Amino acid sequence: MFTCSSTRRLAFSFAKPSNVSRTSKATISRKYSVDAQNNDIPAKRRPRIIFSGIQPTGIPHLGNYFGALANWVKLQREAEPEDELLFSVVGWHALTLPQDPKALVEARQDMMALMLAVGLDPKRSILFHQDHNQNHVELGWIFSCLTPVGKLRRMTTWKSRLAVSRNANDESEVDDSLLNTGLFTYPVLQAADILAYKATHVPVGDDQQQHLELARDIADIFNRTYKKPSRLFPLPQSMYTPTRRVLSLKDPSAKMSKSAQDPNSRILLTDPPSLISSKIRSAVTDSLPTITYDPQTRPGTSNLLNILAACMDQDVEDVVRERYEGKARNHADLKKEVEEAVVERFRGPREEFEKVRGERAYLEEVARKGAERAKEKSDVVLTEVRRRVGLA
Ligand code: TRP
């Protein structure tokens, strides 16, 4: 684990460092030890700029919640006062797959309401709609002129998203004549989202690690191409969460997903308690009499344990040791406990969402102020970018 703070253990760990980020890490820690010697005070962490984005594609399920929103709230709580946090609803990214315009308007507003409902605080974090800040697309264009097509071809997400959007069984069934340019260059816009604020840290899930790697590559290409007077962009680190993957309640060989046929395979953040209970009760497990954690041989049971641990903000190993190991407790006991934990965890966000969602004026005000602050910060970066590339 990498942390420059000696006083605080971060709940987030950092992704495997690439060569480039290893260099920047070394530079950072050298700087800190020098400061510490000179000032005779404990080494202090350099302020972080944390950026993340979420697509407005409907009410998040349990997997989305623990994979993104819940971590953002935790980060907001644990951040140092000097750290800056920006969280964005990424409407332009949503357009890379076909969207119904009416539904998209709703989904964008709902996602902003959800960010507030789960506990993101617009006074502490900048909450905004990506599509309210044109700087992202301008920087995206400039980056696209520096990004080799070969690098984008190697990304795997566009392949899987294209396959899903075409209802194909397999990625090999879709050919790239069906691929729109936006879906292909999606990671370039994502790099612009991040670098428009010179973000240093980006909380993302597994499937986005490759996009973060690309964002670092693009930052590095820009820095080397336009190097005077100094390297402009930091190489953003990904922060990934210790929460394990949440699986489908009906088919624990697959991830919990928004698009799966059976609505009982997922729990939505807005499901009422009775529905949460019935979905968990009908979750697929196995017929062994006791409860043990073994994701390989007992995926259904282990998934429920992961959900329980996530709701309790504990490590799954601890939860199993304290509650199940060597005890005569069965799946009925486990399901009861998961039911209660999920209902309890989602109660506040669900009630708050129902309330905030109707407060249109408030939502618009939060979005407007957020966009203003986001623009102000990114204007500084874009002015420098334009100057360096020769457009100012
Ligand atoms: N691609 C991300 C996803 O699908 C969303 C996203 C867009 C994002 N821009 C970002 C995440 C910038 C982190 C940083 O989940």
Contacts from 250-255 at CB under 8 Å and sequence distance 24+? 250/282, 250/283, 250/284, 251/284, 252/284, 252/299, 252/300, 252/302, 252/303, 253/299, 255/63
Distance of CA 212 to the CA centre of its chain: 11
pLDDT number for residue 23: 38
Q: Is the CB of 68 under 6 A from ligand 1?
A: no
351 or 163, which is more confident: 351
Instruction: Write the residue with the smallest CA distance to atom 13 of ligand 1.
Output: 52
CA distance 311 to 220: 39
368 and 346, same domain (yes or no):
no
Q: Across the chain, which distance is largest between two alpha carbons, in Å?
A: 72
> Are 20 and 236 contacting, i.e. CB atoms less than 8 angstroms apart?
no
283 and 160, same domain (yes or no):
no
**pLDDT tens-digit profile of 183-207?**
999 999 999 999 999 999 999 888 8
pLDDT number for residue 164: 76
**pLDDT tens-digit profile of 51-104?**
999 999 889 999 999 989 999 999 999 999 999 999 999 999 999 999 999 999
320 and 375, same domain (yes or no):
no
Which candidate, 292, 261, 265, places its Cα nearest to that of 278?
Answer: 265
Overall residue count recorded for the chain in this entry? 392
Distance of CA 51 to the CA centre of its chain: 9
Atom of ligand 1 nearest to the CA of 189: 9
Q: Could you tell me the distance, in angstroms and rounded to a whole number, from the CA of residue 286 to the centre of ligand 1? A: 36
379 and 329, same domain (yes or no):
no
Instruction: Write the residue with the smallest CA distance to atom 6 of ligand 1.
Output: 53
Q: Could you tell me the distance, in angstroms and rounded to a whole number, from the CA of residue 274 to the centre of ligand 1? A: 33
Atom of ligand 1 nearest to the CA of 211: 1
Listed in order, strand segments (DSSP E) in the chain are 13-14, 49-54, 84-89, 126-129, 201-203, 237-240
161 and 232, same domain (yes or no):
yes
**pLDDT tens-digit profile of 113-147?**
999 999 999 999 999 999 999 999 999 999 999 99
CA distance 253 to 246: 11
3-state SS, residue 49: strand
pLDDT number for residue 40: 55
24 or 354, which is more confident: 354
The β-bridge relationship of strands 237-240 and 49-54 is unpaired
Residue type, 93: H
93 and 240, same domain (yes or no):
yes
Choose the residue to mutate in 130, 135, 200, 211 for probing ligand 1, maximizing ligand atoms within 8 Å of C-beta: 211
pLDDT number for residue 37: 44
HSE of 254 in the Cβ direction (CA atoms, 13 Å)? 13
**CB environment 173-182: b (16+ within 10 A), e (fewer):** ebeeeeeeee
Tell whether 96 is covered by a domain: yes
186 and 299, same domain (yes or no):
no
CATH number at residue 130: 3.40.50.620
Q: Could you tell me the distance, in angstroms and rounded to a whole number, from the CA of residue 228 to the centre of ligand 1? A: 30
Tell whether 108 is covered by a domain: yes
Q: Could you tell me the distance, in angstroms and rounded to a whole number, from the CA of residue 189 to the centre of ligand 1? A: 9
Which two three-digit tokens encode residue 109? 């507003």
CATH number at residue 291: 1.10.240.10
Tell whether 93 is covered by a domain: yes
What's the whole-number average pLDDT of the chain?
A: 88
132 and 229, same domain (yes or no):
yes
Q: How far apart are the first and last CA of the chain?
A: 42
108 and 191, same domain (yes or no):
yes
Tell whether 42 is covered by a domain: no
Label residue 167 left, alpha or beta by phi (over 0 means left) and psi (-120 to 50 means alpha): left
CA distance 180 to 125: 33
Atom of ligand 1 nearest to the CA of 51: 14
220 and 298, same domain (yes or no):
no
> Are 178 and 154 contacting, i.e. CB atoms less than 8 angstroms apart?
no
Atom of ligand 1 nearest to the CA of 93: 7
Instruction: Write the residue with the smallest CA distance to atom 15 of ligand 1.
Output: 54
Instruction: Write the residue with the smallest CA distance to atom 9 of ligand 1.
Output: 190
> Are 222 and 233 contacting, i.e. CB atoms less than 8 angstroms apart?
yes
CA distance 105 to 107: 6
Which pTM does this prediction carry?
A: 0.86
Choose the residue to mutate in 164, 195, 204 for probing ligand 1, maximizing ligand atoms within 8 Å of C-beta: 204
Q: Is 337 exposed, middle or buried (CB count within 10 Å of its CB: 0-12, 13-18, 19+)? A: buried
3-state SS, residue 300: helix
- Sequence-ordered list of residues with C-beta below 8 angstroms from that of 357, at least 6 positions apart, any chain: 109, 110, 113, 117, 363
Choose the residue to mutate in 12, 51, 55, 201 for probing ligand 1, maximizing ligand atoms within 8 Å of C-beta: 55
Q: With both helix axes pointing from N to C terminus, report the angle between 209-225 and 181-195 in degrees, rounded to the nearest 10.
A: 70
DSSP of 57-106: -SS-BHHHIIIIIHHHHHHHHHS-TT-EEEEEE-HHHHTTS---HHHHHH
Tell whether 24 is covered by a domain: no
Q: Could you tell me the distance, in angstroms and rounded to a whole number, from the CA of residue 52 to the centre of ligand 1? A: 6
Asked if residue 5 has pLDDT above 80, the reply is no
Asked if residue 17 has pLDDT above 50, the reply is no
Residue type, 298: R
Q: Is the CB of 60 under 6 A from ligand 1?
A: no
Which two three-digit tokens encode residue 19? 């060569």
279 and 375, same domain (yes or no):
no
Tell whether 385 is covered by a domain: yes
- Parent domain of 289: 270-354
Tell whether 329 is covered by a domain: yes
Average pLDDT over residues 35-58: 76
Asked if residue 28 has pLDDT above 60, the reply is no
237 and 327, same domain (yes or no):
no
Q: Is the CB of 298 under 6 A from ligand 1?
A: no
Q: With bands split at pLDDT 50, 70 and 90, how would you rate the model's confidence at 42?
A: low
Q: Is 186 exposed, middle or buried (CB count within 10 Å of its CB: 0-12, 13-18, 19+)? A: buried
Tell whether 5 is covered by a domain: no
**Rounded alpha-carbon distances, angstroms, from residue 198 to 48, 84, 274:** 10, 11, 45
How many domains, the chain? 2
Atom of ligand 1 nearest to the CA of 68: 15
